[in-house]
Every structure is written in structure tokens, then in C-alpha cells.
Amino acid sequence: YYEQREEQDYWMFMESDGTKRAMLPFKITRKSMYSYPSRIDHFLQDWEYSRFVECANVLERPENTTRKIPNSFSSALADLRDFIKTKDNAHLVTHCGTLLGWYRECSFIPHTTDVDFFIRKEEYSPKVLASLNTKKSPYNLFRIYGLPEDSYELAVRVKAVKTVNIDLFSMYTAHNESWMGGLAWYTRQKYKWSYP
């Protein structure tokens, strides 16, 4: 079964084994006494990536903690998630320090100055770049590293905010590992982060 709460922008699904899944709302087709997702292919793709994990909140900070990125910026990230999903049917996945901050303290790490996501290479298409790189886009694409087949990274900012960099990495899968590449722009040295 699923439930939708006013304060959330997603539907929470509960499986019989206790597993929770969170998915963006989708259109439902009703026929006779049956209801099912109107786009079953999109539903199945979203279902694969929808496992809901609570943040651990093992590091509680005082409410008045000064942060480089205010927690209210999370709504801008939800907008970016929706923008990419709507335009390109790709999934943004929280990563690096952004993932650590969310899991460890349910917020941004106070001293962090950027936000990190990845997009799986198999979901990436040139439409992602094209969508971000238009005058009508609410985002400013200001940096591209690497090539789509190796170490690809896009850096964007929300035009209305302009102060927080959002890094979009490509996650590649090969054999028994996933990996991301990176480039130190000041030395032009390449890095590879492997995830078995």
C-alpha cells in the first residue's frame, strides 16, 4: 500500500516485508476495479531505485549551527531532481559529502560548500546537458569536465541562488564494480573512485 502526506513531495510505499520505498507521484490509470501506473515502464525503472532509507542522525548539532549551505536549499535540490526527471527521465542520486551529511546528521554538513549527485551512465543522454544549458533553464551550467564515456562531470548553479555549486558526476558500471572519475583542474590529474 502507499500513503501520501501533505508535507512530503513523494509517495511512501510499504511492502509486506517492511521495506519502504519512496517515489515521486505518477499518473494512475483506473479500469474497472483495478488501478495501475499509466507508464509501467517508468514505474518499474523508478521502483528499482526507490528504496527508502532513514537518516541515522548520529551526529546531532545545535539548531543554531551556522551552515555554508542552509538546509532550506534542499527544496532547490528537489526542484533539480524533478527537472532532470521530467526532461530526461534520469535519476539524481545523492553522493559524497552530501550523502554523508544527510545520513549522518539529516542535513548538510555545516562547512561544506557544494552539493554532489551522480547520474548512472546508462541513464545519461545529451538531453541532460541540453536541458541544463538553455536560457529558459533555471540552472546555470558553468563547467564540464571529462567526456561522457570517462570521468564526465557537470557543475551547475541555481540561477536564483548563484552561491552553491552542484556537481553532477557520471557513475559507470563495468564487470563487478561501479566507478566515477574525476579531474583535479589545477594539475589536470585524473582520479578513479571504485565502488565494488
Give the integer Cα–Cα distance in Å for 153 and 142: 11
Q: Which residue has the cell 557543475?
A: 155
How much is the average pLDDT of 104-111? Answer: 93
Cβ contact 62:48 at 8 Å: no
Q: How far is CA 115 from CA 29, 109, 173, in A?
A: 37, 10, 22
The string of pLDDT tens digits covering residues 22-44 is 998 889 999 989 989 999 998 99
Does 80 have pLDDT greater than 90? yes
How much is the average pLDDT of 56-63? Answer: 86
Does 5 have pLDDT greater than 80? no
Torsion angle in degrees (nearest 10) through CA of 157, 54, 128, 73: -20
Q: How confident is the model at residue 60 (pLDDT cuts 50, 70, 90)?
A: confident
Say what the pLDDT of residue 133 is.
Answer: 87
